[in-house]
Amino acid sequence: MKLWGGRFTKPTNELVDEYTASIYFDKKLAKYDIQGSLAHVEMLKVCGIIPAEDADKIAEGLKIVAAKIESGEAELSAENEDIHMNVEKLLIEEVGPVGGKLHTGRSRNDQVALDMRLYLREALLDLTELLVKVQQSLLNQAKLNLDTVMPGYTHLQRAQPVLFGHHMMAYVFMFQRDVERITDSWKRVNKSPLGAGALAGTTFPIDRDFVAEQLGFDGICENSLDAVSDRDFVVEFLANASLISTHLSRLCEEIVQWSSAEFNFVELDDAFSTGSSMMPQKKNPDVAELVRGKTGRVYGHLMGMLTTLKGLPLAYNKDMQEDKEGMFDTVETLKGALALFAPMVESMQVKKENMYSAVREDFSNATDLADYLVGKGMPFRESHAVVGQVVLHCINNNKYLLDLTLEEFQSYSDLIEEDIFEAITPETVVNARDVAGGTAKNRVEEQIEKALDFIKVSEDWVETHASKVHS
């Protein structure tokens, strides 16, 4: 008989059991469900709602059930619909009818909201840790490439030279915002919904703060209707995950481009590349492509969750069971990508000479020639036009700016002198961008210093918050 079978006269249609069950995926929540139940039963005992002896028996039974689920010994069934009722059934099998006291003052509605939050907060810790590792791998590449000049692009056209280290640091700052979004969202995730009951609270003299404190929450959800209806924290997570995926995907796209023969700027380590079944010469950046590709499912989960919630009346609706698979899949997808990313970036071989030739054989120092003329008193708009003429002359004569003679330069402006040749070398051009946030070596070093500071803050955050969750 079903746990809720009292008012029914017939068994559920088998297809209904199959269709409405969430046990296929919410079994992932077993550990959190039992963690929550242990805190709940302790509260029932402390508040004198059930006899201490019964509470202790239940707690013992729950631990046995946890072990049996973990080892795979316990049988979880669609007939028992979800993880909550499966655990309760197993508990009653273990300790007898006294197990039926566990659900006093509680509903699956507050219980599932609790489990989701317990699951997500651990995922947030793991993801932050992984993001920091990716930041560190990028930062290490930046340190190794403080003299590596590459073309910087706008419109994917060579624009101005930058340091490869500067380019790597751009991603470190993007991922930093991702870390900060996660750590900020923690405040909203880490609230206890337990005690909201089905929707209206409970008639038992429960102590919600006690449960919250036991579980390492920073407080309780203040409104019982909101507590069981709220899946904002899932949406917020999926939105933050979408931005992480966006950042990963942009870097993937660059790695794919840089690995092509057309760019030939980097070579991925053999351990992080794959081959072709037909073309023996191929070495493919599959990991980067797949991380880029998986962005689609993460965005999809965000849209799915938003759409599921839109228009739902308060309070709990079965629709909300759809919150789980997308969240789990997003966590797994990101963990997989981030875990691979750090060693892939770290082991990537940077082809400094090829980057340098790409800068040398181009006009990305044209702005600097214009700035040079401005330094000699010419208005920028005028110097822009003069340099345009010089570039055209080069194109027609198959030359770059550094190949011109002083006479050729002077035929466009007599303000140009011998020092022009030094003023437009790739190194000078890069180091002339000596402004906060700029690409000059000392400015990139400043960025690295800042990053080392915030990485330390993130590491401390993970440590202090992990101790709350695991104590």
Using CA atoms, how far apart are residues 167 and 165, in angstroms rounded to an integer? 5
Q: Which of residues 14-43 bind ligand ARG (CB under 6 A)?
A: 22, 26
- Provide the H-helix boundaries in 268-376: 286-309, 323-346, 352-360, 366-375
CB of 321 to ligand ARG, least distance (A): 4
Q: Which of residues 307-366 bind ligand ARG (CB under 6 A)?
A: 316, 318, 320-321
**What is the separation, in whole angstroms, between the first and last Cα of the chain?**
38
Q: Which of residues 64-103 bind ligand ARG (CB under 6 A)?
A: 82
Task: At 358, list the tokens.
Answer: 């790409």
**Catalytic-role residue among 77, 260, 276, 467:** 276
Which of 351, 354, 289, 343 lies closest to 138 in space, CA to CA?
A: 343
Q: Which is nearer to ligand ARG, 50 or 320 (CB)?
A: 320
Q: What angle do the packed helices 30-46 and 52-71 form, to 10 degrees?
A: 170
CB of 458 to ligand ARG, least distance (A): 32
Q: Which is nearer to ligand ARG, 327 or 440 (CB)?
A: 327
Q: Which of residues 379-398 bind ligand ARG (CB under 6 A)?
A: none
CB of 258 to ligand ARG, least distance (A): 44
Using CA atoms, how far apart are residues 77 and 389, in angstroms rounded to an integer? 78
CB of 122 to ligand ARG, least distance (A): 18
Contacts of 439 (CB under 8 A, 6+ apart): 152, 161, 162, 163, 166, 430, 433
CB of 99 to ligand ARG, least distance (A): 19
Q: Which is nearer to ligand ARG, 231 or 247 (CB)?
A: 231
**Catalytic-role residue among 71, 155, 470, 471:** 155
CB of 318 to ligand ARG, least distance (A): 6
Asked about 185 being catalytic, the answer comes back as no
Would you count residue 55 as binding ligand ARG (CB under 6 A)?
A: no
How many whole angstroms from its chain centre is CA 276? 30
Contact assessment for residue 216 and residue 305, using Cβ atoms and an 8 Å cutoff: no
What is the total count of residues that contact ligand ARG (CB under 6 A)?
A: 10
Asked about 276 being catalytic, the answer comes back as yes
What residues are paired with 153 via a beta bridge? 158
Q: Which is nearer to ligand ARG, 82 or 368 (CB)?
A: 82
Q: Which is nearer to ligand ARG, 129 or 323 (CB)?
A: 323
Which of 318, 306, 309, 322 lies closest to 108 in space, CA to CA?
A: 318
Using CA atoms, how far apart are residues 369 and 62, in angstroms rounded to an integer? 75
Q: Which of residues 217-276 bind ligand ARG (CB under 6 A)?
A: none
Which of 170, 224, 217, 173 lies closest to 196 in space, CA to CA?
A: 224
Q: Which of residues 104-123 bind ligand ARG (CB under 6 A)?
A: 108-109, 112
Q: Which residues bind ligand ARG (CB under 6 A)?
A: 22, 26, 82, 108-109, 112, 316, 318, 320-321
Q: Which residues are catalytic, by number?
A: 155, 276
